[in-house]
Amino acid sequence: LAPALAATAFALNHDTAAAWAAIAANGQQDDNSLLAADAKDAFSALPHYWIAAEAGNWSAALADARAADAWLTANRTARPLMGLLLPVWIRPLEALALARRGDAAGAAALIGATPPDYYLCLRLRGQIAAQAGDGQAAERWFTAGAAQAPSLPFVYADWGAMLLERGDAVGAIAKF
């Protein structure tokens, strides 16, 4: 699992070459091969999803998230923790990929079925609202995420990216 976690970290830090090298080191062909270990040990390694996302290949990211969703759904009876991962991890990532592919309605429906008070879900609700052009809703979700976890930087980075995209460099710098 360590190479998969390293690959995920590299992808999230925009180093896809290092992410692919880490994946090659352990011979892992897809993210589903990690899900049992992820669920057992409470890790969240999905390097193929994040490499695709970093490359802007949201179709591949969506396919990976959907494959993870199907695998977790099929295996949650034998491993009850699997069912818990769906609404707080896989489906939010699936919703983000839908939004980035331009399916605002599908993304809104999927993220709307996730917990409204879970940090990752709040962050992704903000990103999805921003992607849909609803800056007020995005600000509301980012504010909720920042209130929930004020020392975690991720919601501030998401918020800053949205502001920068809207042309508010000063506001973005403040959030960054």
* Tens-digit pLDDT string for the chain (176 aa): 566 777 777 887 788 888 888 877 766 666 766 665 555 444 566 888 989 999 999 999 999 999 989 988 888 888 777 778 889 989 999 999 999 999 999 999 999 999 999 999 999 999 999 999 999 999 999 999 999 988 888 899 999 999 999 999 999 999 99
For residue 66, the one-letter residue type is R
Tokens (6 digits) for 28: 């892992």
CA dist 135 and 164 (Å) reads: 12
CA dist 145 and 79 (Å) reads: 29
Whether 3 and 29 have beta carbons less than 8 Å apart is answered as: no
